[in-house]
Amino acid sequence: MSCKWTIGAWAAAWVLAGCAPAPETPAAAGTTGGAAQAAVATSGERALEEVRAFLDVGPRDAGTPGAERAATYLAERLRALGVEAEIQEFREPSPRGPETVFRNVLGRIPGRTDRIVLLGSHYDTKAGIPDFVGANDSGSSTGLLLELARAFAAAAPHETEIRFAFFDGEESQVEYGPTDGFHGSRHLARTLAADGRLSNVVAMIVLDMVGDRDLTLTIPRNCSPGLVAAAFAAARAEGGRKHFQLYPFNIGDDHVAFFERGVPTLNLIDFAFGSAPGRNDYWHTPADTLDKLSADSLDLVGRVVARLVAELPARREK
Name the residues that contact Zn ion, by CB under 5 A.
137
List the Cα angle 204/241/182 in 5-degree steps: 30
- Give whichever of 161 and 288 is closer to Zn ion, judged by the CB atom: 288
- Give whichever of 137 and 147 is closer to Zn ion, judged by the CB atom: 137
CA distance 178 to 188: 15
Query: Whose CB is nearest to Zn ion?
Result: 137
CB of 170 to Zn ion, least distance (A): 7
Q: Which ranges in the chain belong to alpha helices (H)? A: 7-17, 44-55, 65-80, 141-154, 183-194, 225-237, 256-259, 295-310
Amino acid residing at 156: A
Partners of residue 32 on adjacent β-strands: 35
- Give whichever of 288 and 317 is closer to Zn ion, judged by the CB atom: 288
CB of 220 to Zn ion, least distance (A): 14
CB of 171 to Zn ion, least distance (A): 5
CB of 126 to Zn ion, least distance (A): 5
CA distance 49 to 207: 17
For the chain, state the CA radius of gyration: 18
Which residue from 238, 82, 102, 259 is spatially nearest to 166, judged by alpha carbons?
102
- Give whichever of 26 and 184 is closer to Zn ion, judged by the CB atom: 184
CB of 70 to Zn ion, least distance (A): 15
Amino acid residing at 86: E
- Give whichever of 137 and 238 is closer to Zn ion, judged by the CB atom: 137
